[in-house]
Chains A and B, each alone.
Chain A
Amino acid sequence: MSEILERPVVTTAAASPLITMRDVHVRFVTRDRTVHAVNGVDLDLAAGEVLCILGESGSGKSVTMRALMKLLPRTAKVSGRIEVAGRDVTAMSEGELQDFRGSDVAMIFQEPMTALDPVFTIGRQIAETVQRHEGLSRAAAMARALELLELVQIPSARRRLEAYPHELSGGLRQRAMIAVALACKPKLLLADEPTTALDATVQIQVLLLLRKLQEQLGMGVVFVTHDLGVAGEIADRVAVMYAGRVVEEGPVGALMTGPLHPYPRGLLGATVHGGMRGQRLTTIPGAPPSLETVPVGCPFAPRCTEAEEVCTVGEIAPRRPVPGRMARCVHVPAE
């Protein structure tokens, strides 16, 4: 277990950011219709940083993340610049992608039961990744698998190596999937709602484990969630997405206590928490726009109580009132 932690994973790459996304657009084109899922996303991630992409269903958060690993189906038309660890992801060939996925970047999903292969044991699935990327022998790979199961705090790890996914509980399966993802010490971990399907007492265990592993291994993490509480628990920075755009971005504490954009403000107001009993909940009227056409102006304008004429014409440029914070809203002072 110690061996995997001692190897320096981050080679002081402060100069080169882990992720650079510039003006990324993703359209899904089928014969019947075109869906503009992501419309001009800029994102940066430094090594060892945890970024939460927060948004409701259909906001484009998962599509943005999948674009980082080029995991989108053929119908997806991706444009813009996507660089991960200094390499251009959009230009990679299928062979290069196979080396890249699993070693530089790994991903964990919401449903471990569908992400793990039901006919292979947990140990076999971890070892397979190690053998493929590092060329270790089967015995050495199995030894690494054991280390990894201990790393993700699976009790009686030696016995669990021989277990099939259906033999584990939900929380253990999620830990096993994390072990598979960490098998080759990726520089970047992509997590797509990994705790959403878990029970409350198990969710907090997995969140704390992920945070601990991230600190130990120095990974960068992009964490997609719709849950503000989860973001508050794990993120360094938060990017709020709406209708395929990042409408606000900033450090987690500042964003949670004083959001600049009306959408995250509404979202925070609509989220039920203790002490709201008897009060009427503030709601955001209406629903997100259809993405069959690219929204003109601010995509939130039709639901926004502060919308003005200027909100519906032209692109709203990002405004940065203080360093490290960004919001796409005309009411935010441009600095």
Chain B
Amino acid sequence: MLRRSESGLAGRWHADCVTRRMSAPLPFPEDRGGPAQPLLRLNGLKKHFPIRGGMFGATVATVRAVDGVSFAVRKGETLGIVGESGCGKSTTARLLMRLMDPDAGEMVFDGEGVGQDSQTGGIALKDYRRQVQMVFQDSYASLNPRLPIEDSIAFAPKVHGVSGPEARQRARELLAAVGLSPAQFARRYPHELSGGQRQRVNIARALALQPRLVLLDEPVSALDKSVEAQVLNLLMDLKEKFGLTYVFISHDLNVVQYISDRVLVMYLGQVAEQGPVDAIYDRPAHPYTQALLASRPSMDPTKRRTEPPLTGDPPNPINPPSGCRFRTRCPYAEAVCAERAPVAADLGAGHEAACHMALPGSGHSKAGRLAA
């Protein structure tokens, strides 16, 4: 693939933007619960997809894409979500964005129930989505090919009642903020940009509504390494500049370690482990997290491994194993693992692992050894 030269470095702001505050055509959403209240809290979120078959379209099986996921996103942090394909990370993202409705569970955004009406202390979806925006992996598919990028960015503010000229003015400021010169790029179409530039446009569009939470679903996976670093630097800068909170979904463990404050490890639709980034990477408690970290290829040819940490592929989420879902690949699995699903064991400082070995008195022969 050929690409045009990319203008400017990540983080090299348009001089205008650094010196004066950007115009704010929309009122900035105000903080309600104070810094201690999580920005977003999920409780027991579930999403099952029926598989229909047979003559009358009866449900023959169910994909348990997200099966009882609970976590909180704190204000101002970056929460990384890692896992392999089929673990439910993208479904979680779509649920967070309410691009689909959960089958069960509740979502609370800064103290307000998402999707409930305001009389019962809730927040309407339109207001919620203004404050929560998303950046997708495929930078080309997520832009309208028939709109100049400036109009794509100005689209959502117009829906929310900002006048056309004002929205376009703001779009140009945002283009500058993501390192694309408005004079050069504003009227271009998505196909005239390189992958890295398009991803910058997607980021600018996500920021157009002045959101508080930005969901990044594999935002750098399709980019080359040198461009990936530019976009990661940009994301760090924007977070500070606009006071954002990120949920960063990726399969790349190194990138997640770099950007996250806390990390959530998912396996087959459930949370295997979550905690502060250093705890997860230095003291992983769940055998799956340990294997995932050990599977990273080493850049040092003298430290090549000889045996893979895990054998086999992740099982199909249609018929997940009973009890602990990881037990079919786990080297420490015992009878108790097949009988009961482990509950999350608290390992201190917000570090939790859903493993019988982490839980004292669970019946596993190694139970409780991991607890602090």
Contacts and interface: CB of A to CB of B under 8 A. Distances in A.
Contact of A270 (B229, B281, B304): B229
A282 B229 contact: yes
Nearest to B329: A201
B19 to A, nearest CB: 22
A257 B300 CA distance: 8
Interface stretch (B147-155, B168-176, B219-227): B219-227
Nearest to B260: A277
A287 B296 contact: no
A146 B311 CA distance: 20
Interface in A174-201: 199-201
Interface in B1-38: 1-6, 9-11
Contacts of B144: none
Interface stretch (B55-63, B98-106, B247-255, B344-352): B247-255
B301 interface: yes
Contacts of A324: none
A283 B258 contact: no
A56 B3 CA distance: 12
Nearest to A202: B313
A200 B251 contact: yes
A227 B233 contact: no
Nearest to B234: A283
Contacts of B339: none
A169 B229 contact: no
A262 to B, nearest CB: 12
A252 B301 contact: yes
Contact of A170 (B1, B194, B297, B313): B313
Contacts of A256: 299-301
B228 interface: yes
A232 B297 contact: yes
A281 B229 contact: yes
Contacts of A170: 85, 313
A232 B298 contact: yes
Contacts of B298: 229, 232-233
Contact of B311 (A200, A205, A257, A281): A205
A172 B313 contact: yes
A283 B226 contact: yes
A7 interface: no
A267 B296 contact: no
B4 A287 contact: yes
Interface string B202-233: 00000000000000000000001111111011
Contacts of A297: none
Contact of B312 (A171, A282, A292): A171
Interface residues of B, number: 53
A253 interface: yes
B1 A273 contact: no
Contact of A201 (B254, B258, B300, B308): B308
B3 A285 contact: no
B167 interface: no
A199 B252 CA distance: 10
Highest count of chain A CB atoms <10 Å: which of B5, B224, B297: B297
A183 to B, nearest CB: 23
Interface string A267-302: 100111110110011111111111110000000001
Contacts of B301: 232-233, 235, 252-253, 256
A199 B251 contact: yes
A243 to B, nearest CB: 10
B229 to A, nearest CB: 4
A253 B298 CA distance: 11
A203 interface: yes
B9 A199 contact: no
A141 interface: no
Given A200-B296, A273-B299, A291-B2, A208 B305 contact: yes
A272 B255 CA distance: 6
B341 to A, nearest CB: 21
B277 interface: yes
A208 B292 CA distance: 16
A170 B316 CA distance: 11
A35 B2 CA distance: 9
Given A200-B292, A274-B254, A283 B229 contact: yes
Nearest to A206: B308
A281 B9 CA distance: 12
B314 interface: yes
Contacts of B228: 270, 272
B336 interface: no
A277 B258 contact: yes
A172 to B, nearest CB: 7
Given A199-B84, A204-B305, A273-B299, A267 B225 contact: yes
Interface in B264-317: 277, 281, 291-292, 295-302, 304-314
Interface in B72-102: 84-85
B257 interface: yes
B157 interface: no
Contacts of B230: 283
Nearest to B230: A283
A236 to B, nearest CB: 9
B309 A204 contact: yes
B196 interface: yes
Greatest chain B CB density within 10 A among A227, A280, A289 is at A280
B257 A274 contact: yes
A271 B304 CA distance: 19
Contact of B9 (A207, A208, A283, A290): A283
Contacts of B281: 274
Quick one: which of A200, A227, A270 has the most chain B CB within 10 A?
A200
Contacts of B302: 253
Contacts of B309: 201, 204
Interface of B: 1-6, 9-11, 84-85, 194, 196, 224-230, 232-233, 236, 251-255, 257-258, 277, 281, 291-292, 295-302, 304-314
By Cβ-Cβ distance, the 6 closest A-B pairs, closest first, are A229-B297, A199-B84, A270-B229, A56-B224, A284-B226, A169-B313
6 contacts: A155-B312, A201-B295, A267-B226, A272-B255, A281-B232, A284-B229
Given A199-B313, A283-B10, 11 more contacts: A57-B1, A172-B313, A201-B295, A204-B297, A208-B306, A229-B297, A256-B301, A272-B258, A281-B233, A282-B229, A287-B194
